[in-house]
Structure formats: C-alpha cells, structure tokens
Structure 1
Amino acid sequence: MAATDSHRQNAVHTVQQALDEQVQAWNSGDLEKAMTYYWNSPEMLWINATGVEKGCQEVLDMFRKNFADTGQMGLYTYTPLYTEQLSEEAVYYVFRWQIAREGKRLMGGVSSQLWKKINGRWVVTAEHAS
C-alpha cells in the first residue's frame, strides 16, 4: 500500500473515530462535549430543512433550545454511507442518522459533513442534515 493510501485511510479512520466520540457524548446527554467536535468559529455552517445557520455558538444555542434536557436528546445512531478524503486536511463524510427515544424514531435522515484538520484537530466545519 502506498504511503498516500495509508495516510488517507488514517485520516478517514480518525474522522470516523471522532464522529463515534461525538455520538457517545450526545448519547450521554453531554451536548457541550458533543459540540466540541464542531469548529468553534462564527464561520461554522449548519444547513437543514429550515435553512442555514452560521456559527458554532448559534448552532449550540439552537440545540439547547430544541433539546432542553437530556431526555429529549434520545439515542443517536448512524450508518456510514460514503467517505472521501478531499485533501490532507479535509474529509467528506455522508451517513444515515436517527434519533430515537424509548425505541421510537423521533427524527432522522442523511447528513453530509465536511471535516477539516484545524490546529492539528479534526472538526466539522460544515454539516447538511436532512
């Protein structure tokens, strides 16, 4: 295997591991920790059916409003659909997601995330959840 192939597999694996950690934080009811996997910048982009939100703090505030207590957060699961390393410092990740509570699906769909390595750390810089 070429060194570039190995590097690409490592970057994709690192992003998959980071998403797993983010999901674990969500499922533990730790919204603040889950948000640390997003780029802490006013330029972070969140896109969903209702429109576009810009800024990590604004997205955190939206989540706090929509999931006022940990009981509302439910159980988050996902299934990878597609990954591509776009560069040494960018990975595109597409997955099917679902949030369920007491075994009943509350919401779900498909998300695409752009992960970038910023200051030595992989973070989501843009997400489209539908």
Structure 2
Amino acid sequence: MRTLVLLVCLILSFGAKADDANQQIRVLLQTQVKAWNSGDIESFMEAFWADPRLRFISRGKVRYGWQSAYEAYLRNYPDRDAMGRLSFNIELIDLLNADQAIVVGRWQLVRKDDQPNGIFTLVLQRFDGGWRIIHDHTS
C-alpha cells in the first residue's frame, strides 16, 4: 500500500511539473510573438538557444547556430512590412521528460499583400535560464 501511495504522489508531482513546463513554454512562445509584432527580431531570437549547435530548418535549408538563424531572419524580414503580424496556434506540447519538450503548431503572417502560413515543430530544452528552442523545423 505504501508503494502505491508513493507512486501516486510521484505521478501527481510530475503532472504539476508538466503543467508548469507547459505554461512556461507557452509564455516563451507568446513572448516571441509579441517581440515579432513589435518589430524586434533580436528579442524574438532570445527564445532560441544561443549556441552553434542550434538547428534551424526552413525553406529547404538547414542552418546551424544562433548567429546563422539570426542573420537569415534579418535577411528575409528586413522591415516591418516584410515582418507583418505573426500569430501562433499551438497544437501540441509534448513533455518528453522534465527538461525536454516537442511543440507542434501553426504560424501565420498577415501582411499587406499576402498571408503566408505553415507548420512548425520545435524541440525545446530547459536550461538554468529557462526553456530555449534547440531545434526548429518550420515549413
């Protein structure tokens, strides 16, 4: 009986931690949207792991490293008109363990002449400074 009580306590504890992680990840992504919609790509990039091992896959290319991803954003979105207004629709946050998660969602930009949109899969890692995107595959 004692083992069962301990098991239930562990499950409830993990559930509470999973809820906290889920909320922290949602806040991180909402902060990204706010930064983007303010025209602040540098703040948008704070959600990404600032490391040469960051992987970013988009437009048929694989980029490695925070700097490479940042430069691609600056090149592809040189001004507020190109940036448009961003929104995310998070479809899934799957906590793999206490420190890693996968997020699947949809993105959309609303711009003067078009409304590009697509799907993304993110792998996030919890570091001492909080959750960061370590792998981004956006189509």
| TM bucket normalised to smaller | over 0.9
- Aligned with residue 127 of structure 2, among 101, 114, 118: 118
Aligned to 2:136: 127
Q: TM-score scaled by structure 1?
A: 0.94
Partner of 1:55: 65
How many Å separate the matches in 2 of 1:103 and 1:28?
A: 19
Q: What does residue 4 of structure 2 align with?
A: none
The offset of 1:55, in angstroms, is: 0.5
Distance in 2, matches of 1:56 and 1:44, equals: 6
Q: Secondary structure at the match of 1:15?
A: helix
- Count of aligned residue pairs for this structure pair: 129
Which is higher, the Rg of structure 1 or of structure 2?
2
Question: Which protein is richer in strand relative to its size?
Answer: 1
Shift of 1:34: 0.3
Percent identity of paired positions between Structure 1 and Structure 2 = 26
Cα deviation 1:48-76 (Å, max 9, x = unaligned): 23220000000100110111112210000
Q: Which runs of 4+ in 1 moved over 2 A?
A: none
Higher relative helix content: 2
Give the unaligned 5+ runs of structure 1: none
Q: Provide the TM-score with structure 2 as the length reference.
A: 0.88
- Distance across 1 between alignment mates of 2:25 and 2:43: 16
Segments of 5+ residues of structure 2 without an aligned counterpart are 1-10
